[in-house]
Amino acid sequence: MNKLTKIGLTALAGSLIAGSVNAADMAVTGSASITFGGGDNNSNTGNGWSMTDGVTFSASGDVNDIGVTLSLELDGGAQESDTAGSSQLMDDRSITFDLGDRGTLVFAGHGGSSALSARDDVMPAAYEEPWAVVTGAAAAVINGDAEEDMFTYSYSHESGVSVALAYHNAEAANSVESYNDYAIEYTGIDGLRIGYAAGTVHDTANESDESTMFATYAMDGFTIGVQSSEFDAENGATTDRDTTGFGISYQVNDDLSVSYGQHETEYNTGDDQEASAVGIAYTMGSMGVSASYHSVDNIANTATDDRNGYEVSISFSF
C-alpha cells in the first residue's frame, strides 16, 4: 500500500470518528445556592452560612438505536467531603440507556437513588421534609440502601402502572450481600399517585426488611399525601420502627407555594420522634428563594432532646 493510500484511509477514519463525536448532543448546566440555617441545637454547628455549587456536563446520542446519555457533575462539595484529602472534584456521575418502549436503565457510579431511597418521603413540600434541617432527626428515616456503582431500571406502561428495580453488588465494609429493591406505582387517575417500595438491607451490622407505601392526590392548587414505612431488623432489636407522615401543599400561583407536613417515628420502646415543618418557596425565573421552619421532639428516641431549626436558601440555575 503506498503512502498516499495510507494517508487517504487515515483521513477517512479520522473523519468518521469526528463525525461520530459531533453527532452527540452536548449540554452544560449549572446551579448554586446560598443558605443560612440555625435554631435550637445541642451541638456546635459553627457558621450558619453555607453554599452549594455544581456544573453538570452531559453528552447524549444514539448507539445502535439506543439512546445513551453520559452525565458528569463537578461539585466543590465533593472535595470538601473527601477525607483522603485528594483533589477529586467529581460528584454525581451516571450513564443512562434509553430503551424506548422497553424502559430506561441507569448505571450510577455515584449519586444514584435506589427504588426505595427515591421514595423515602414523597409527601408534598414546598422546601424540606419535616425531619430535615434539625441535626439527628434524619436517622429515623426508612430509606433502603444506595451505594456506588448501582443499576436502576424503570418502566412505565400507558395504563399508568410503573415499576422500578435497583441492584448493587456487595462491597466490602458497606454490605455483606448484594442489595436489590423494587417499587411499583399507579398514576392512571388524574392527580392520583399511589405506590409501594421494599428491599432487604444486609450491611456489616445487621439485616433489615424495609418498606414504604404512599398516596398523593393533587386537585386545583392543593396536593395532599400520606405515607407509612416499616423497618424490621432480623435480630428483633429496639432498632425496629414504624413511621407515618402526611403533607399538604398549596400552589398559590405559578411562582409561590406553601406547605405543612408532619412525620412521626414509633419505636419499640421509649418516646416517639415527632417532627413537623412549614415551608415556602418562591421562584423568579432562574432564581428561587425557599425557607422552612422545623420542630422535632424526642430526636432519635431520646426524651430529653427536643429542637427547633430553620433554613433560608437562595438558589440559581443556569
- Give rounded-to-5 percent helix, strand, coil for the chain: 10, 55, 35
Considering the domain boundaries, does residue 303 fall inside one? yes
Domains in the chain: how many in total?
1
CA–CA dist 297, 276 (Å, integer): 9
Give the pLDDT confidence score for residue 167 in this predicted structure.
Answer: 95
Considering the domain boundaries, does residue 131 fall inside one? yes
* CATH code for position 277: 2.40.160.10
pLDDT in tens, 57-111: 999 999 888 999 999 999 876 555 544 444 567 789 999 999 999 999 999 999 9
Q: Which residues neighbour 73 within 8 Å (Cβ) at sequence distance 6 or greater? A: 54, 55, 56, 57, 90, 91, 92, 93, 111
Burial class (CB in 10 A: 0-12, 13-18, 19+), 123: buried
Considering the domain boundaries, does residue 159 fall inside one? yes
pLDDT in tens, 24-45: 899 999 999 999 998 875 555 5
Considering the domain boundaries, does residue 65 fall inside one? yes
Considering the domain boundaries, does residue 263 fall inside one? yes
Percent of the chain at pLDDT above 90? 65
Considering the domain boundaries, does residue 250 fall inside one? yes
pLDDT in tens, 187-232: 999 999 999 999 998 876 678 899 999 999 999 999 999 999 999 9
Considering the domain boundaries, does residue 266 fall inside one? yes
pLDDT bin (cut points 50, 70, 90) of residue 240 is confident
Domain extent at residue 135 = 26-317
Considering the domain boundaries, does residue 20 fall inside one? no
